[in-house]
Chain A
Amino acid sequence: MAKDCTTCVETQEKQEKLHKVIAEHKGTRGALIPVLHEAQEIYGYLPMEVQLEIANGLDVPLAEVYGVVSFYTRFSINPKGKYLVNVCMGTACYVKGAGLILEKLKEALDLDVDECSEDGKFSLEACRCIGACGLAPVMTINEDVYGRLVPEDVVGIIEKYKNL
């Protein structure tokens, strides 16, 4: 029961934060995308209820909110894994073999791109350039950046997170 209570409190906290964000932006023009950014920061993703809250709060049709969310790749309607593995497939990384890194990761995680592992631990994604092209090929796991990768590095790095 106690566990439920914490989730309950957590939900409430998140909701209060969201309300605050909406209130802060209400009335400023072009508020939708900044609010979506912050909402995703709070919830980790943008489920229907959150989008509805934003739609009503900012007086934008829900269909438009959903249209915007689905347009931009950074917004997600699905929860992400605890560790988000992101392989840069930008040009600098690609010509230096990012494709092979991605293949290795798929194998090591047993995931396809844009999938989340069943235990919710890992998500695999491909992104386009994080600006660390000098270290190409690059991948990130949450905040950590790994550069100058070779395919052989991959398994070891993933193992580290598996055991965290």
Chain B
Amino acid sequence: MNNINITIDGIKTAVPAGYTILQAAKELGIYIPTLCYLKDINEIGACRICVVEVKGAKALAAACMFPVSEGMEILTHSPKVMAARRATLELILSNHPANCQICDRSTNCELQAVTKKLGVREIRFEGESIHADIDEGISIVRDNNKCILCRRCIAVCKNIQTVGVIDAVNRGFNTTIASPFEMPLGETPCVNCGQCIVACPTGALRERSHTDDVWAAIADPDKYVVVQPAPAVRAGLGEEFGYPIGTPVTGKMATALKRLGFDRVFDTDTAADLTIMEEGTELLNRIQNGGTLPLITSCSPGWIKFCEHNYPEMLVNLSSCKSPHEMFGAVIKSYFAEKEGIDPAKIVTVSVMPCTAKKFEAQRPELGKDGHADVDYVITTREFAQMVKDAGIDFRSLEDSDFDNPFGNASGAGVIFGATGGVMEAALRTVADILNGNSGTDIDFEAVRGVDDIKIVEVEAGGMKIRAAVAHGLGNARKLIEKVKSGEEELHFIEIMACPGGCVTGGGQPVQPASVTNWIDLRAERAKAIYSEDKNAPIRKSHENPAITNLYKDYFDEPGSHKAHDLLHTHYVARGKYQ
């Protein structure tokens, strides 16, 4: 690679061609503030906070976009640069409500952080400022008053997710981010993935909080409150309490849930094992009996809604399985309630999820029985962390503990549901074993792991060839589905996760600022926590989990039974676009 010689703040250095000034400065340990730049996602040079002085250039240059060239001399904090950054920041703040104390993103807000870093202590400019109504949907809350128009949400929604339900509207001072005709986001084909939230540098986007409902249920002596955290939660939660990215905190999480006062603390991982039993059976059934193929996973509600809006003709391909936590909710309100002798009406099921789409999913009318929703409340990893903080629990000093029985133990296959490729790998472990007559040796399907856009594998088992594909992020999902529709790919089984990276980087996970995500791959780092849990699990295949085999023995007879269909499966609705 040919290197380019440049001088930054008097330091001579050589960096690869194609580097931006921002990249080059980073290598020298020079901090340049950014607000709009999200590597590979939002490279538009809009916010002008990263400006630097390039010798010989008329105007200041945006470091995030400006490529280095031979002999370039750059000043990253000359008086001119500092004055310009401050003035720009003051202008932004002159159109921003100054109420950090009561803002969801305080202490984790990039605008606040940049203000602090630049040492801005006064706002010299004043004038008209924005007064926008807050759009509070079932999953997503948009507060344009706090929006700084960095466009990161748009880039994610439109380019990465190919959903595109928000965009910049109007122009000049009246520019805002809005859905078409300013309709509530909930009335658009938004899939509630929450990727816009984790991309947002400020408090302009957040989830609809349900912590008050959960606190109320816990405090209600008449309610029996059962909680289940999803696989990915343990891979991200630690970040809220200062652990390095990729640290699993499963044991402390279980303890914290108990401390909060839940009556039972189960693990969604166990339900993931159950899902594999049902979905694996469905797959084999479809392959062996000429059913519709490819079968596509249904555990990501973001993907489900996307399919309903964009590919109604593909709904027949979706597995009829409910997503794991919904299955679990149904099991808790039926089998568990019976077994424990509790009136299902008194049971409140709470899911702790890395996901905002699951808030919408939980209130789908088809996901419940006899007027009881399978899952009553979904809270995100972030909300859960907030509850821990509310309760004054010092998370870091907690002892590890186990989940409650009978659904406290999961296989390693259940854990890896949290990362892209995980469901596929879990399913392959079981399906291959079944086809091979329970003698499967290969446990690690490395080919479906990692953050490649679309991963395709061919697995041979019991004389059968299964072609499978994994896509994460809805843009990739769209690409894959188009290939399937055009006949370019012939597949038996597809895993789709709405969020890039899968649930570990779901819309409900702790938010990492761009100053982190621009330099490391959060998806890969968090996935490490998941795969290390799997590696250390005593049981690594779903069908070998005794909790699951017992459940079938006691209650469901066998996967795909009538009862299983009644409780564990669902159906989908074709939804037009904006109709």
Contacts and interface: CB of A to CB of B under 8 A. Distances in A.
Do A and B make up one complex? yes
Interface of A: 48, 51-52, 55-56, 61-67, 70-71, 77
Nearest to A63: B167
A66 B170 contact: no
B167 A56 contact: no
B166 interface: yes
A61 B171 contact: no
A29 B418 CA distance: 40
If over half of B's interface residues share one DSSP class (helix, strand or loop), that class is named, otherwise mixed; here it is loop
A70 B165 contact: no
B513 interface: no
B158 A64 contact: yes
B166 A63 contact: yes
A95 to B, nearest CB: 23
Given A51-B180, A61-B164, A66 B169 contact: yes
A93 to B, nearest CB: 22
Contact of B164 (A48, A63, A77): A63
B436 to A, nearest CB: 45
Contacts of B164: 61, 63-64
A62 B187 CA distance: 13
A66 B181 contact: yes
Contacts of A67: 167-169
Interface string B133-171: 000000000000000000000000010000111111111
B255 interface: no
5 contacts: A62-B165, A64-B164, A65-B180, A67-B168, A71-B170
A61 B158 contact: yes
B51 to A, nearest CB: 25
Given A51-B180, A52-B578, A61-B158, A70 B166 contact: no
Given A61-B158, A61-B167, A71-B170, A66 B577 contact: no
Contacts of B577: 52, 55-56, 62
A37 to B, nearest CB: 18
Contacts of A52: 577-578
Contacts of B178: 63, 66
B359 to A, nearest CB: 22
B165 A61 contact: yes
List 6 tightest A-B contacts by C-beta distance, closest first. A61-B164, A67-B167, A63-B167, A66-B180, A70-B169, A62-B180
A17 B121 CA distance: 59
B334 interface: no
B165 A48 contact: no
Contacts of A65: 180
Contacts of A48: 180-181
Contacts of B166: 63
A70 B188 CA distance: 18
B170 A62 contact: no
Contacts of A71: 168-171
A65 B188 CA distance: 14
Nearest to A67: B167
B187 to A, nearest CB: 12
B368 to A, nearest CB: 32
A52 B578 CA distance: 8
Nearest to A56: B577
A65 to B, nearest CB: 7
B112 interface: no
B106 interface: no
A79 to B, nearest CB: 15
Nearest to A77: B181
Given A51-B180, A61-B158, A66 B578 contact: no
B179 A70 contact: no
Nearest to B162: A61
A71 B178 CA distance: 13
Contacts of B179: 63
A65 B180 CA distance: 8
A61 B163 CA distance: 8
Nearest to A60: B164
Given A62-B180, A63-B179, A64-B164, A70 B578 contact: no
Contacts of A51: 180
A2 B164 CA distance: 42
A63 B180 contact: yes
Given A63-B165, A77-B181, 7 more contacts: A51-B180, A55-B577, A61-B158, A63-B167, A66-B181, A67-B168, A71-B171
Most chain B beta-carbon neighbours within 10 Å: one of A51, A56, A70: A70
A70 B170 CA distance: 5
A67 to B, nearest CB: 4
A23 to B, nearest CB: 19
Nearest to B157: A63
A67 B179 CA distance: 9
A66 B170 CA distance: 9
Nearest to A52: B578
